[in-house]
Structure 1
Amino acid sequence: MLLRQMKYFVTVVDCSSFTEAAEQCYISQSAISQQIHSLEEELGVQLIHRENRRFDLTPAGEYFYTQSKLLLDEADRIRRETIRIAQMDESRLRIGYLRNYSGQELHMAVAEFSGLYPDISIEIVAGTHEELYDLIRFGGVDIVISDQRRAFSEAYENKILLECECIAEISDNHPLSINNTLTLKELKQTPCILIAPSKYQDSEAAYYRDTLGFSDHFLYAENLEEGRLMVLGNRGFLPLETIGTLPPKLPKIKRIALFNQGVLIKRTICAFWLKQNTNYYIEEFAETLSALIKQSNRA
């Protein structure tokens, strides 16, 4: 009996579907069915009672499922601890994230990771997409949380965290704040506030203008707090992504979904790190953040 077969069985039960379980395990449906059948043959008992496209667990299957989950969790703990011991000298994790990132899951991931690995020093830096790209290329950070603007590179691990919707934060004193949705055409005469230092303002504006379709009317803030103060002063609107759980909005600011030519604007947010620098702690933090974001999306 293999741990892999246990994992397949547990995934089938958790998903209540052979098809979904096969997708999660990156194998074909016929292959996962065969693995479950082989497991039953080896045990000499029936774990799953199949009826057309539905199935139920037998009493033996219920017991095997519960015990397999415990065993798989313990095996994963042993794996993680073994790798951690082997990499004791890697005592620092440097994280870069977008300046306009406001999802709470990043803070939760840092707190959870720090609780699990208190001996690991965590350094965090915020930047624009281009700032983060320069940092990861030249060794300034170990992992970045950023939007995808280039084709994925073979030199990097490219872990997609989510495809998120774009919103506009706008003062409720603005005439358009009464709308349920906003289009880039409606906002053409309203300045767009971008979070970017002077060195990266041109590249950030070019992306929003040429790729996303925003009008060429930008104002700039050094950080998210400054940007929101500008919104409160009714100087323009601030584009943000709904990455996980956003903090409560400030009084007098409305959050409204952004559309372009009838289509909701979306962005792909990823965790990136150089393959040659991969280590246990980078992968563990990426998995922790990914799990928290998925959990928030299911809530």
Structure 2
Amino acid sequence: MMPLHFLSLLVATLQPLAAAEPEGWTLVWADEFEADAIDPGKWTYDVDCWGGGNNERQCYTDRPENAFTADGHLVIEARNESWTGDPFPPRWGLTGDPVTQDFTSARLTTRGLASWRYGRFEIRAQLPGHQGSWPAIWMLPEDSAYGGWAASGEIDIMEAVNLGEPCDVCPTGLETRVLGTLHYGGSAPDNTHSGDATFLEDPTGFHVYAIEWTPEDFTWFVDGVPYARQTADEWFTEGSAASQTDGAPFDQPFHLLLNLAIGGNWPETSNLGGVSEDHFPRQMRIDFVRVYACPSNPETLAGCRHGGQDD
């Protein structure tokens, strides 16, 4: 029987969506950002000054100054401005003294609105450069069935830091890497991760970042070219749940997140170090977000994955 979460999403395809479907796939959810405003039926905001657990330096807001639509794009804009806000995400139910950060930005999520288990996810985006920039396209579990982060998993479709800055291991001598990563294992600090990177020939241009997720593996793509793969025997969870399977924790529905962080442990210890206060505002522009299912085999994705070629 087709899972209810895919059945409900397939119904949405009865309404035309402006996208060319890859062979074998069916578009089940999309945002082309053609409207005058961000669709509240598809996206909500994380609003806090927590720093993401990585000592990031931004406050996330729901202001139009930090996230808006323009020219058919979603624009997430990081600004060099002081802001004071909640020290924790309000959904946690925790309290504490307000926190002031030196930058503002936005983090959009489909949490509570749309989530998926398995499929193909494509996001066409243009990334910001400069020291301290940390754009990310990623996924978190809708329900943390196996415990706190990262026992229930995290899927990073794309991350990059400090694009355009000096890089000793990059072919051009400038930072052009984007990464795809899985986080899993136990709850922090007993978590671990694995992933791989590829180099962009044009880090300032638009690229399609994609991932195919099956019960057996993940495959990462840039502009249709695969560059990384991980299989189910490489990940695990130390969390406990009656429904735990060999694919845990990546056997549960996950939602999408789009954000532009400034600073944090990773970018500030890479390339030139720290955060440059130049080149603000910085923008991450997203042309579209598209989610595909494999209606012929929604659980295995047989016949759809890897461009229609199964292993």
Q: Which structure would you say has the larger Rg?
A: 1
Q: Please state which structure has a larger fraction of its residues in strand.
A: 2
- Asked if these proteins are the same fold (TM beyond 0.5), I'd say no
Which structure dedicates a bigger proportion of its chain to helix? 1
